[in-house]
Structure 1
Amino acid sequence: MRYCFALDLIDDPALIAEYEKYHEKLRPEIEESIRSAGITEMEIYRIGNRLFMIMETDDSFSFEKKAAMDAANPKVQEWEALMWTYQQALPMAKPGEKWMLLDNIFTL
């Protein structure tokens, strides 16, 4: 299954550069947590301060499973807190909402 998400970064060139640096070589424990949740591929794109993530999953993936795994993993919690220092919610996000799932409106 493919899922697409959007999120904004704080609009500061130095912070954006730092954020990208963290993603050049992902921490092994973070990559392992992603893969063990059933995520087979993940790409993040950026234009300005807007991020777009494409996530491919296998049949074992569920958002509930991923959330439970993340909540139980202190390394993921540490990573998420660090990343939140660079990220900001989209204007239409609810309190505490981070990456927002996009609706597919066209497929060719």
Structure 2
Amino acid sequence: MKRYCLTLDLKDDAQLIAEYEAHHHAVWPEIKESITGAGITAMEIYRLGTRLFMIMDTTDEFSFEHKAAMDEGNAKVQEWEALMWKYQQPLKEAVAGEKWMLMDNIFTL
């Protein structure tokens, strides 16, 4: 098993944040299928203000490159991502087009 932690910001707008959370309380079945089909075995997203924090547990075979290739060919995932971008904004450290950013583990107990 591998674990990844990622972060992203939401736009600072209470209505948009409420809509974003509502979407995540009713994630489309096709999106759930694309997540598990890529080898992600568990995923959680937390929010504090506009900051999002995602924890992903994956199979040992999981790769971000394979997930990206799968997503590229999935029209429903592309529709979801376009919709989510209405609510999200890149971190200042992001390069153009980068959304969720991988975080470095600096402590483990």
On whether the aligned pair clears a TM of 0.5, the verdict is yes
- Identify the residue that residue 57 of structure 1 maps to in structure 2: 58
The CA distance in 1 between the partners of 2:25 and 2:91, in whole Å, is 24
What percent identity do the matched residue pairs reach?
70
| SS of residue paired to 1:55 | strand
Gaps of 5+ in 1: none
TM-score (norm. length: structure 2)? 0.97
- Identify the residue that residue 70 of structure 1 maps to in structure 2: 71
The one-letter amino acid of 2:10's match is L
How many residue pairs end up in the alignment? 108
- The CA deviation at 1:60 is 2.7
**Segments of 4+ in structure 1 off by > 6 A?**
none
The CA distance in 1 between the partners of 2:108 and 2:51, in whole Å, is 22
Listed one character per residue, the Cα deviations across residues 31-60 of structure 1 (whole Å, up to 9, x for unaligned) are 000000000000000000000000000123
For the aligned residue pairs, the C-alpha RMSD in angstroms reads: 0.5
* Contact preservation (8 Å) 1:37, 1:61: yes
TM-score (norm. length: structure 1)? 0.98
* Contact preservation (8 Å) 1:37, 1:60: no
